[in-house]
Amino acid sequence: MTGNLIEIFSSAQGEGPYIGRRQVFVRFEGCNLKCWYCDTACTIGSHLQCAVETLKPEEPDFFVQNPVSVEDAAGYIQNLLDVVPHHSVSFTGGEPLLHAEFIAAVAERISAPVFLETNGTLPEKLKKILPYVDIVSMDVKPPSAVGEDLWARHRVFLETAARKDVYVKLVVAEDLTETEFAKTCRMIADVSADIPLILQPVTLRDGSVPLRAASLLEMQARALRVLRDVRLIPQAHTMMGIR
């Protein structure tokens, strides 16, 4: 089995409740959505090679040809885990669940928990690999972000993910509507009011947040009327100068 990968590297998580945790990142090509604010060039076939970090001064970082085999990918990940203790391995993209079988096969060969950063729209794929997944970071993609109605798929996905350590992340952009925000809160509350909701204000490339603090606090207050754990956490990659 093989997968089309963009990069395998070690860094700190820059979003959500695990912010700052050291992780190995495995970034896949390919996504089933087209969000207007997407910052990842991940079309399938657009990366002929995958960049691999080593964390060893005596072994320079290198590139390998795509697609990469399960055995090789697991080996590159485990090498990083052996050099520095990591909290978990983040499978990201693109949409990692397009490569669900690949992730399950890699998970069997590595020694760290599996952290899935997903757009939360492929519940059948999640069900297949749920035993291999430890933490689910699920994005909610409202119609204003993707131009299609994904509520039903999000709902089934969250019901499945709720069997694991899961949190929901909503990117707050200027065009997020009141209805979309209310629907997000209601959907989570219907599954469990204890599932954390992370409100992540959209961050511009220069690191600034174009939304008013007062309106973000008001949104948090509204969400807290139906959910027990609602946090305002901006993207921290730019602040920390990490990728």
Give the residues lining the site for ligand SF4 (CB under 6 A): 31, 33-35, 38, 40, 42, 93-95, 119
CB of 56 to ligand SF4, least distance (A): 30
In this structure, what DSSP letter does residue 23 have?
E
Q: What does the buried/exposed string (b/e) look like for 186-214 if buried means 16 or more CB atoms within 10 Å of the residue's CB?
A: ebbbebeeebbbbbbbbbeeeeeeebeee
Backbone angles phi, psi at 18, to 5 degrees: -95, 20
**Nearest residue (CB) to ligand SF4, 12 versus 96:** 96
Overall size of the chain counted in residues: 243
**Nearest residue (CB) to ligand SF4, 33 versus 130:** 33
**Nearest residue (CB) to ligand SF4, 43 versus 111:** 43
**Nearest residue (CB) to ligand SF4, 73 versus 122:** 122
**Nearest residue (CB) to ligand SF4, 26 versus 31:** 31
Determine the Cα–Cα distance for residues 169 and 162; give it in Å rounded to an integer.
14
CB of 227 to ligand SF4, least distance (A): 23
In this structure, what DSSP letter does residue 226 have?
T
Q: Given the structure tokens 């945790």, which residue do they identify? A: 21
What is the H or E stretch that residue 6 is in? Answer: strand 5-12
Determine the Cα–Cα distance for residues 149 and 141; give it in Å rounded to an integer.
9
CB of 89 to ligand SF4, least distance (A): 18
CB of 58 to ligand SF4, least distance (A): 35
CB of 119 to ligand SF4, least distance (A): 4
